[in-house]
A and B are shown apart, each in its own frame.
Chain A
Amino acid sequence: MENSIYLDEARDPLIIAEGWMKDGKDVAIATVVETWGSAPRPVGSHLVIDAEGNFHGSVSGGCVEGAVVTEAIDVIDSGKAKMLEFGVADETAWQVGLSCGGRIKVYVERLG
């Protein structure tokens, strides 16, 4: 019951993002801000991405992470936050949709 026993620091996206920042890396943070229907990860879930495309955490069950990483590298370059939407009704869903049939909205922003 030490302070951080219940915080799995080695796998915690926000702790990793802070570590990357301290190492001087450029970092983007993606957050699930809304879900409809069956969505694999709850609102508030994070995926953190560095400029090389390394990532930790998840915003879905692995269905859309690839697309989010690509967008995140853009966000790191431009510094401009993006709101992404994924779902079966979406055109992009044919490429990177959610097999579960749900829809999610993911906010991607640069750290700093």
Chain B
Amino acid sequence: MDPYALKTLNAERRARRAAILVTDLGDGRDRTVREGDQVAGDLGAAIAKAFRSGSSGSVEAEGRTFFLNAYLPQPRLLVIGAVHISQALAPMAKIAGFPVEIVDPRTAFATADRFPDVALHAEWPEDVLKRQPLDSYTALAAVTHDPKIDDFALKAALDANCFYVGALGSRKTHAKRVERLLALGATADQIARIHAPIGLDIGAASPAEIAVAVLAQAIQAFRSRGLEASASAQSSESILEKHDA
């Protein structure tokens, strides 16, 4: 392995960015490809696929055999709101492989008693995100439906290109939210990335069922990264409006 390829690869991994080590199994030459780097032809198509799936494997291209080793950062979930839905969402997301953190400045909600074994921040999102910036391998679910708490985090998630941005609230609530986010400088394209009403349409009724819908939607968003156009058309049909208190 080329020492430079290893250094580049580790630097990308430390920075929570995706990278693929491409090794020509014929002559042993290798290089690190960053997400977004342009690679032409069949090899480029295989690399794009490996970035989405995170699966490693061999591929035949240009008459040679290449091994693609995909290194994707651990996806994680940041939940704004230490509410009933979050109590179910946190353990479910953890089982599905997403480390979870919960942020809610309301100390009556954000208690260790209500959230055992969860990284909990009883602080404003502004303060937490300053310390721990969002990135494109983070999913953000805003479920307080309090603009004072949700709005800043939603705007930050759009700016950081989080792979999933979901916001609890009815279409009516969301329409008002859209106006506020536009006033904060969000673009129409960014607004279109918000999943609201939140969650896949599985007819979820209880807080735990809504948690399932949110987690499923986050997984769908993760596994269809780079296929935004088709994926958002499918997943925008969610109807959890009745949960807007």
Contacts and interface: CB of A to CB of B under 8 A. Distances in A.
Interface of A: 1-4, 6-7, 14-15, 17-18, 21, 29, 31, 33-34, 42-44, 81, 83, 107, 109-112
A2 B132 contact: yes
A107 B23 contact: yes
Nearest to A111: B1
A50 to B, nearest CB: 14
Interface stretch (B8-16, B216-224, B225-233): B8-16
A112 B25 contact: no
Interface stretch (B33-41, B66-74, B86-94, B166-174): B66-74
Interface residues of B, number: 30
B2 A112 contact: yes
Contacts, number: 61
Nearest to B30: A109
Interface of B: 1-3, 6-7, 9-10, 13-16, 23, 25, 28, 55-58, 67, 69-70, 73-74, 76, 78, 99, 101, 132-133, 138
Nearest to B9: A14
Contacts of B10: 14-15, 18
Contacts of A110: 1
Most chain A Cβ neighbours within 10 Å, of B13, B78, B101: B13
A43 B6 contact: no
B57 A7 contact: no
Most chain B Cβ neighbours within 10 Å, of A7, A42, A110: A7
